[in-house]
Amino acid sequence: MKPPSIIPVIGLAIINGMFSPLLALVFALQGLWYPFFLPSAISLVFALSSLLLSTLYLMVSGLPAAMYERLAGNGT
């Protein structure tokens, strides 16, 4: 991937994490993933759950692309 094209991909992942319908579920399950030593401020939990969903979005969307490159033989 060219370096200039990675910026829109990360921006799209951040927007998807902020407006994902799964955000309420991740926010509700904060007891499972949120560390106990951090303050439980609503804004911090919201930001970290959005970041968690953004990272998950990038990992899940990269898997089919990597599988296609592997099967098509375009990988190095």
Per-residue pLDDT of the chain in tens (76 residues, 90 and over written 9): 566 788 888 888 889 989 999 999 999 999 999 999 989 899 999 999 999 999 998 888 888 888 888 888 865 5
Q: Where along the chain do its domains lie?
A: 7-31+42-72
Cα three-residue angle 39-45-46, rounded to 5 degrees: 150
Its pTM stands at 0.74
Tell me what pLDDT residue 10 has.
Answer: 86
Give whole-number Cα distances, 58 to 5, 18, 38, 61, 66, in Å.
14, 13, 25, 5, 12
